A and B are shown apart, each in its own frame.
Chain A
């Protein structure tokens, strides 16, 4: 513990360097901005800004990109409360009671409690990161290829289980993601695979053009001529500081939301959206007046807002200590780490302590910046929504093109982005979710290597995955998760989808 605190102090030393402070500020500002804006989420933004970080040192780059992750959680609540439009997916629940509070003239306390709740949860999750990430990394040193393979299978199973529509479709997307991720040279024999003689495909399909297409351009195409101007909350926002009664009612939900978000975020495959729904359901269940939920209860804002922030901290643990992303957003961060030449995995903390501790400390500083940035600047964020969508959509396309092109300075990546934007559009039309695809796309090559190494290790016996206790536990969990829908008609994801 003492060692962790010393390391954290070292992290603050790094995070407080002027350059890192600046990038942290840029990250949280960008995060808030995309959180506020519907139509572009943190996942696409991280991908968009990826090329802008190539010339930076990796610490500043990851500080900025993680700032986008948690900044978006703060920003998302603003539009949920004031406009009943979730700026990004993990703020959907906040609309339910947040918007009702705004309609009753209590927009101020709703925004205030969501900012303070987010801050408290953010702080909690950083403490959790300091405690758990190094411990988990030490534990993960025992992992061999079978454990990694089983862990990745578990992550993908959880993603499929949490799919809001068909679980089979989510699994299909995961499999397609693995196939796409493995395109390129064989990691062991260097045989070109599914490259169709195209030289640019030998290095594999890049994460940047895939994400630009699926999340950026596809979103714009879907909204062409559809998205109308948002009705902006006209009333004056006053009293951002929640009163004593608000605090009394919110402190329990914030604590529960933080705990729930953090621990669920830890699980590979969970991400930040599902915990938010669960925290809302939990508060409703615990409330003496569940019937009032949906009509402007502050508990219905405090808990989910705390929860989604804590979950972001939670998702960083498998990323930084195991090298396993738990959702599309952290999958791109993993891609970024690899582009910077770092090897994500249990040795990251030992080999690059400056990166690990610097990023954690910057998250705390970023949370403080967000608290300061959010409350007084809310009118400014709301005015951002007055920018016509026509401008935004054109700029999103431009940034996607720059992002896709500049990683390899290759126009083929622009064509790949175009293809994936069409794929994304059809996926939306036929209710296939992109998140399992992106996660599996990043995990694909790692999964393949782990599988092949395991089989070589075991002399061809698949029993290796159940003979080793840790991997057996992961496999068992995956089987339970994948088999659960056979026994219970109601799947969590589907239940959540009905709750929308």
Chain B
């Protein structure tokens, strides 16, 4: 498949995704109740927003089908494996932070990000991670009095 066709297809699929989302919003809005013009209901703004989203997405769809230019990607090539790993590590952080506490979980997260994802040497990664975990705990919890999760160890 040539690149123009490929980008056209991608752009159309993205537009169709928004069309679908718009329809879903409209559907959800009707279930909430649209009310009347004299007394708009809970779903009123959602319905109209959804409808406008559908119309605009269709415009974008037509635009992308008619355009013969290749869409210039502004972003560079993304490293999807690393992106997935970082997001996974953040999700795990969210799962464990209230159990293990802020300092320990942050230490693990930063060690992983620095040592594994960014490829910094491990001794340095562990050093920076522990300093940053303790340092941020001191700044946010002790100085700024922001409640951070303590976990079973109490820190």
Contacts and interface: CB of A to CB of B under 8 A. Distances in A.
Contacts of B120: 388, 390-391
A54 B44 contact: no
Contact of B87 (A166, A168, A422, A451): A422
B130 interface: no
A120 B117 CA distance: 45
Interface stretch (A99-107, A110-118, A176-184, A275-283): A176-184
Given A415-B94, A429-B73, A394 B113 contact: yes
Given A226-B76, A391-B128, A178 B86 contact: no
Contacts of B50: 179
Contacts of B114: 390-391, 394
Contacts of B90: 217, 397, 401, 414, 417-418
Contact of B83 (A221, A401, A414): A221
Contacts of A226: 76-79
B70 to A, nearest CB: 13
Interface stretch (A236-244, A366-374, A403-411): A403-411
Interface string B41-71: 1111110011011001101100100000001
Interface residues of B, number: 67
Nearest to B60: A168
A189 B75 contact: no
Interface in A155-190: 166, 168-169, 171-172, 175-176, 178-179, 182, 186, 188-189
Which one of B45, B75, B118, B145 has the highest number of Cβ atoms from chain A below 10 Å of its Cβ?
Answer: B45
B144 interface: yes
Which one of A224, A452, A455, A461 has the highest number of Cβ atoms from chain B below 10 Å of its Cβ?
Answer: A224
Which one of B82, B86, B145 has the highest number of Cβ atoms from chain A below 10 Å of its Cβ?
Answer: B86
Interface string B123-147: 0000010001000100010001111
B113 A52 contact: no
A339 interface: no
Interface string B5-16: 000001100100
A166 B91 contact: no
B145 A55 contact: yes
Interface string B79-105: 100110011001101110110000000
Given A166-B63, A398-B136, A459-B38, A405 B46 contact: no
Nearest to B41: A189
A459 B38 CA distance: 5
B46 A456 contact: no
A186 B45 CA distance: 11
B121 to A, nearest CB: 11
Contacts of B73: 429
A17 interface: no
A429 B78 contact: yes
Contacts of A461: 37
User: Chain A's interface: helix, strand, loop or mixed, by majority?
Assistant: helix
A228 to B, nearest CB: 11
A35 interface: no
B42 A191 contact: yes
User: Chain B's interface: helix, strand, loop or mixed, by majority?
Assistant: helix
Contacts of B45: 178, 182, 444, 447-448, 451-452
A395 interface: yes
A415 B109 contact: no
Contact of B86 (A193, A397, A455, A460): A397
A323 B128 CA distance: 42
A401 B149 CA distance: 12
B75 A414 contact: no
Contact of B38 (A55, A451, A455): A455
Given A224-B83, A418-B90, A409 B147 contact: yes
Interface in A367-397: 388, 390-391, 393-395, 397
Contacts of A421: 87
Contacts of B44: 448, 451-452
A494 interface: no
B98 A394 contact: no
B63 A168 contact: yes
Contacts of A394: 110, 113-114, 118, 132
Contact of A460 (B11, B37, B42, B140): B37
A149 to B, nearest CB: 11
B148 interface: yes
A194 B46 contact: yes
Interface string A403-438: 001100101001101100110010011110000000
Contact of B60 (A172, A398, A422): A172
Contact of A224 (B11, B117, B146): B117
A409 B50 CA distance: 32
B113 to A, nearest CB: 4
B148 A431 contact: no
B67 to A, nearest CB: 10
B14 A430 contact: yes
Contacts of B37: 455, 460-462
A246 interface: no
A451 B48 CA distance: 12
A224 B82 CA distance: 7
A124 B56 CA distance: 41
Contacts of A425: 78, 83
Interface in A461-482: 461-462
11 contacts: A51-B146, A54-B146, A222-B78, A390-B120, A398-B110, A401-B109, A402-B148, A421-B87, A422-B87, A429-B73, A456-B40
Q: Across chains A and B, which 4 residue pairs bring their CB atoms closest together, nearest first?
A: A390-B118, A460-B37, A460-B38, A414-B94
Given A172-B18, A456-B40, 10 more contacts: A52-B146, A171-B52, A175-B53, A176-B21, A221-B86, A226-B77, A226-B79, A398-B109, A444-B45, A462-B37
